[in-house]
Chains A and B, each alone.
Chain A
Amino acid sequence: MDYSSFLQMHEEFSLLGVMIILLLYDIFASEKYLKYFQPIAIVLFLVHIVLNCVPRETFQVSGGMYEYLPIHSYIKTFLNIGTLIVFLQAHKFLNEDANRIKRGEFYFLTLSTLLGMYFMISAGNFLVFYLGLETASVPMAALVAFDKYNNKAAEAGAKYILLAVFASSISLFGISLIYGSTGTLYFNDLPALITGTPLQILAFVFFAVGLFFKISLVPFHLWAADVYEGAQTNITSYLSVISKGSAVFVLFTLLVKVFASLITEWQPILWILAVLSITIANLFAIRQKNLKRFLAFSSISQAGYILLAIISGSAIGMSSLVYYVLVYIFSNLAAFGVISVIEERTGKINIQDYDGLYQTNPNLSFVMMLSLFSLAGIPPFAGFFSKFFVFSAAASQGFYVLVFIALLNTIISLYYYLLIIKAMFLNKSDHPIEPIKSDFFARVSFAVCTLAIIAIGFISPIYDQIHLISFGM
């Protein structure tokens, strides 16, 4: 066996390198140097991003267990950027006395889940895929319960691990049925063997449940609100953006690559899931008082919109999806960033607490407003473009009714996003949140997000690049 082919897995190795360096540094560095732990982590990660952002030629490792496609570089880079923003926003939280000792773990666990996602994305075989899925889930549960003395976090962690394991075991059962009916687990061999027998359809449904759980589509969403609320805010943002972003990408590639012959089966399934996710999550989001729960439901409905790109099953769907994930990363992380900064300083997390925020914290309100408008799909912000492309992808395959339902839902979503904007700009409060000076790292993250939200839509080469490469799928 030719081991040198392993070295082609640049992304995974360089991430592993970062992880190991950070782990050793955390263990062996003296107190004097530990001060620099976070800046070093961020710089190292930045180097990792820069090194791996250029797409390469397609290649396979160990006989197709691992398969690299140029588009993987993009999706991984986008996830990396998102993770970097989370790190920037978590800086303050990890510098607190209670958490300083645990920050090594924070970085290691986060990067482990990221590594899992890398493998999920580039898997060429269901076994590698499953390994990636588990690597992405188990450290995530530890992250959710990061603040272990907090009852809610502990509860959220337990809930997450139980449900995640349950979901992935169903998924594994589906994989075993696939193996039973076809005799192979390689993605490249499967399309010819999947002919649409009842057993294979059953296998597909079982398998997909695991991914639907990770994307938190209705009716597999019940964990989302509680876990989002219980986990520390920066971890919630990581969970809602990065974890979701990788899962939708993987779902798309598997549907198009492996289950292409079952298209008449999975399109109706996705149709129903999309309508349910968007509608139910929107209706629940209206009733939320807690901002984290609110964003949990909002992100479920966003996942529903992404399904519109997946359902098309076309190259345009692929590029729209990747673009949507990119925009969603910036929009959602900006919103979570503001929430985490405010929660960090004041402990306030309810929509009511944001009354009159613009009077005391104009900059934070501004960032929040941009991100909410982007999430709602209002031009000239990036969210408008990504939503438009997703809708076009679905419409290009004739799903006009689905687009119509989704668009009617954007009205509901605009309503609840406007509730927050109303609180910040219109409402008056006797006890507004006092002026907050966010730390340097958080401000950098806000600047990046704001710039991205405003600019991405106008810079069409970003989309063109993604589009160019997604034709290679």
Chain B
Amino acid sequence: MNFLSLYILILVLMMMGLFLSKSRKQIQIIMITGASFLLLLSGALTYLYLTERAAGNTAEMLFRADSVWYAPFNIHYSVGVDGISVAMLMLSSIIVFTGVLVSWKIDPMPKEFFLWFCLLAIGVFGFFISIDLFTMFMYYEVALIPMYLLIGVWGTGKKEYSAMKLTLMLMGGSALLLVGILGIYFTTGGSTMNILELSKLKVPLEMQRYFFPLTFMGFGVLGALFPFHTWSPDGHSSAPTAVSMLHAGVLMKLGGYGCFRVAMFLMPEAAHEMAWIFLILTGISVVYGAFGAIHQTDLKYINAYSSVSHCGLVLFALLMMNQTATTGAILQMVSHGLITALFFALIGMIYGRTHTRDIRLMGGLMKVIPFLGVSYVIAGMASLGLPGLSGFVAEMTVFVGSFQYADTFHRILTIGACASIVITTVYILRVVGKVIFGPMQDKHHETLTDAVMYERIPVIVLTAAIFGIGMFPGWISSMIGDSVLPLISQFIR
């Protein structure tokens, strides 16, 4: 049994346990135990990974395991991690853990909710540990489908529309992706599905020109690449809290991770040729998402558009194709995952109390629910890039990396993207000023109660992680930076 396969095993065991569970109490116990194990596992993995690297192990992927699954198609069950995956696994397990606590009192049908939730988590964890194209794609799709039911049954607002839109658009993305994957596999001679081995073979350049955009767009849909981002605001705002957290926090990162690990890594020549098209598109994502957020009045919509902007920045930085920017992109994935999860968790808790998410109907919440208020301000500050919090570290690295190009095209785009920070400040401060501070809008809100224990834990965990990365970014950015180097050497000319 491979160490990494434990992620899947734990989740499968959790699902079995849920299947047999009878009461809410049992369900809660199963979920919290399982989620804690996942968190511990990620902690142990990070530790082991760092000690292994410190001991001088320079293999591209550590903790490898490989067994043949479908021999005729060279499909292997093949797992392994590098620094990037370790960071993403850590992020995922933090968010799964907090997501479980946030949906502690989910109603109705807690059992079904957590079953789907676990399936979603299997998709996420499986994706990050896989280094086989087929299993990667499989896990990617496993993560998509539970979304439909999670949003459709437990969501709010126009949930059926959002659920359908999200599922179909992401499925569309995976359709593009599958063509790309089959293309990569067969144009390299159909001899292996392993990403590491594929990177040594060459996809012919004229074929790369077809399959690179397909693969990049396929993953890009999930990474909210303009103009395929439209599922994201509707989906995130309709989803139940924990699902918004997991989706904006982790699932959107699958897109960025896949763009990097599959599309750009395996087809570097076409990536160079076509980067400018996608740079423009992601540049639009960054700026457009920020402007979109200014216009919204629903807290979740504001956050969803802000996610479009910040995830756009991830793809933007990846396409800059140098070590600093790419490291920044991965850091931004982690940082945005934590911040956005915190945002959605807080919005869920506020909504649970005020029963509205319209910022025009709320105000002065700091007086009645100070814990949530302070946390919201912290999340806001992190999101607009206050030094000392994770957002600053990530965005700073991204922009430093992007600025390394001296030509006009890259300069203009970089300056445009930098300007989005200003817009971010506008919408964040507007919400904070209006909802958290500002005068009381509704006298019913005067009697609200502050967060209880099971709500405080996830908020504290997420805040601590945001502070942790913000204060001590060294270890994580060097862990990521070291792993980025062998990947990036594919396309540094």
Q: Report A's interface with B, CB cutoff 8 A.
A: 316, 319, 373, 378-380, 384, 388-389, 391-392, 395-396, 398, 400, 403-404, 407-408, 410-411, 414-415, 418, 421-422, 425-426, 460, 463-464, 467
A391-B182, A392-B182, A410-B171 given; name 18 further pairs at CB < 8 Å.
A319-B72, A379-B139, A388-B134, A392-B186, A395-B183, A395-B186, A400-B179, A400-B210, A403-B178, A403-B179, A408-B175, A411-B172, A411-B175, A418-B148, A422-B152, A460-B69, A463-B70, A467-B72
A388, A391, A415: the one contacting B164 at CB < 8 Å is A415
Residues of A within 8 A of B138 (CB): 379-380, 384
Residues of A within 8 A of B406 (CB): none
Q: Which of B122-156 contact A (CB under 8 A)?
A: 134, 138-139, 141-142, 145, 148-149, 152-153
Residue B78 CB within 8 A of the other chain? no
Residue B482 CB within 8 A of the other chain? no
If A415-B168, A426-B160, A464-B70 touch, whether A373 touches B175 (CB-CB below 8 Å) is no
Helix, strand, loop or mixed for chain B's interface? helix
Residues of B within 8 A of A407 (CB): 175-176, 178-179
A395 to B179, alpha carbons, bound, how many Å?
8
Residues of A within 8 A of B307 (CB): none
| Whole-angstrom distance between the Cβ of A435 and the nearest chain B Cβ | 17
Residues of B within 8 A of A415 (CB): 164, 168
Whether A418 lies near B172 (C-beta < 8 A) is no
A464 to B138, alpha carbons, bound, how many Å?
19
Residues of B within 8 A of A422 (CB): 152, 160, 164
Residue B1 CB within 8 A of the other chain? no
Which 7 A-B residue pairs are closest in the complex by CB-CB distance?
A407-B175, A395-B182, A426-B152, A379-B138, A467-B72, A379-B141, A460-B70
Whether A400 lies near B182 (C-beta < 8 A) is yes
A388, A396, A460: the one contacting B186 at CB < 8 Å is A396
Q: Report B's interface with A, CB cutoff 8 A.
A: 69-73, 134, 138-139, 141-142, 145, 148-149, 152-153, 160, 163-164, 167-168, 171-172, 175-176, 178-179, 182-183, 185-186, 190, 210
A378 to B141, alpha carbons, bound, how many Å?
7
Residues of A within 8 A of B69 (CB): 460
| Whole-angstrom distance between the Cβ of A352 and the nearest chain B Cβ | 15
A400, A408, A410, A464: the one contacting B183 at CB < 8 Å is A400
Residues of B within 8 A of A410 (CB): 171, 175
| Whole-angstrom distance between the Cβ of B135 and the nearest chain A Cβ | 10
Residues of B within 8 A of A414 (CB): 167-168, 171
Residues of B within 8 A of A373 (CB): 145
| Chain A residue, CB-CB nearest to B182 | A395
Residues of A within 8 A of B168 (CB): 411, 414-415
Residues of A within 8 A of B171 (CB): 410-411, 414
A463 to B139, alpha carbons, bound, how many Å?
20
| Whole-angstrom distance between the Cβ of A455 and the nearest chain B Cβ | 14
| Whole-angstrom distance between the Cβ of A354 and the nearest chain B Cβ | 15
Residues of A within 8 A of B179 (CB): 395, 400, 403-404, 407
| Whole-angstrom distance between the Cβ of B125 and the nearest chain A Cβ | 14
A192 to B175, alpha carbons, bound, how many Å?
41
Whether B172 lies near A378 (C-beta < 8 A) is no
| Chain A residue, CB-CB nearest to B68 | A460
Residues of A within 8 A of B71 (CB): 460, 464
Helix, strand, loop or mixed for chain A's interface? helix
A463 to B68, alpha carbons, bound, how many Å?
13
Whether A426 lies near B182 (C-beta < 8 A) is no
A460 to B134, alpha carbons, bound, how many Å?
14
Residues of A within 8 A of B152 (CB): 422, 425-426
A152 to B134, alpha carbons, bound, how many Å?
46
A415 to B148, alpha carbons, bound, how many Å?
11
A384, A392, A404, A425: the one contacting B73 at CB < 8 Å is A392
Residues of A within 8 A of B182 (CB): 391-392, 395, 400, 403
| Whole-angstrom distance between the Cβ of B161 and the nearest chain A Cβ | 11
Residues of A within 8 A of B141 (CB): 378-379, 384
Whether A421 lies near B149 (C-beta < 8 A) is yes
| Chain B residue, CB-CB nearest to A468 | B72
B134, B178, B190: the one contacting A396 at CB < 8 Å is B190
Whether A378 lies near B145 (C-beta < 8 A) is yes
Q: Which of B145, B149, B160 has the most CB of A within 10 A?
A: B145
| Chain A residue, CB-CB nearest to B139 | A379
A396 to B189, alpha carbons, bound, how many Å?
10
| Whole-angstrom distance between the Cβ of B187 and the nearest chain A Cβ | 9
A410 to B210, alpha carbons, bound, how many Å?
21
A306 to B149, alpha carbons, bound, how many Å?
29
Residues of B within 8 A of A319 (CB): 72
A40 to B152, alpha carbons, bound, how many Å?
46
If A403-B182, A415-B164 touch, whether A421 touches B72 (CB-CB below 8 Å) is no
Whether A464 lies near B175 (C-beta < 8 A) is no
| Whole-angstrom distance between the Cβ of B362 and the nearest chain A Cβ | 29
A388 to B182, alpha carbons, bound, how many Å?
9
Whether A391 lies near B72 (C-beta < 8 A) is no
Whether A418 lies near B167 (C-beta < 8 A) is yes
Residues of A within 8 A of B70 (CB): 460, 463-464
A396 to B270, alpha carbons, bound, how many Å?
22
| Whole-angstrom distance between the Cβ of B380 and the nearest chain A Cβ | 34
A373 to B144, alpha carbons, bound, how many Å?
12
A418 to B149, alpha carbons, bound, how many Å?
10
| Whole-angstrom distance between the Cβ of A390 and the nearest chain B Cβ | 11
| Chain B residue, CB-CB nearest to A398 | B186
| Whole-angstrom distance between the Cβ of A351 and the nearest chain B Cβ | 15
Between A and B, 27 residue pairs with Cβ closer than 8 Å are A373-B145, A379-B138, A380-B138, A380-B142, A392-B185, A395-B186, A396-B186, A400-B182, A404-B175, A404-B179, A407-B178, A411-B168, A411-B172, A414-B167, A415-B168, A418-B164, A421-B149, A422-B152, A422-B164, A425-B152, A426-B160, A426-B163, A460-B69, A460-B70, A464-B70, A464-B71, A464-B72
Residues of A within 8 A of B73 (CB): 389, 392
Residues of A within 8 A of B172 (CB): 408, 411
A15 to B160, alpha carbons, bound, how many Å?
50
Residues of A within 8 A of B175 (CB): 404, 407-408, 410-411
Residues of B within 8 A of A408 (CB): 172, 175
| Chain A residue, CB-CB nearest to B69 | A460
Residues of B within 8 A of A464 (CB): 70-72
| Chain A residue, CB-CB nearest to B148 | A418
| Whole-angstrom distance between the Cβ of B419 and the nearest chain A Cβ | 36
| Chain B residue, CB-CB nearest to A378 | B145
A460 to B75, alpha carbons, bound, how many Å?
10
Whether B178 lies near A425 (C-beta < 8 A) is no
A391 to B160, alpha carbons, bound, how many Å?
31
| Chain B residue, CB-CB nearest to A369 | B149
A396 to B164, alpha carbons, bound, how many Å?
32
Residues of B within 8 A of A460 (CB): 69-71
Whether A425 lies near B72 (C-beta < 8 A) is no
| Whole-angstrom distance between the Cβ of B390 and the nearest chain A Cβ | 33
| Whole-angstrom distance between the Cβ of B122 and the nearest chain A Cβ | 8
A114 to B33, alpha carbons, bound, how many Å?
53
A167 to B141, alpha carbons, bound, how many Å?
41
| Chain B residue, CB-CB nearest to A401 | B179
Residues of A within 8 A of B163 (CB): 426
A410 to B148, alpha carbons, bound, how many Å?
16
| Chain B residue, CB-CB nearest to A403 | B179
| Whole-angstrom distance between the Cβ of B320 and the nearest chain A Cβ | 30
Residues of A within 8 A of B72 (CB): 316, 319, 463-464, 467
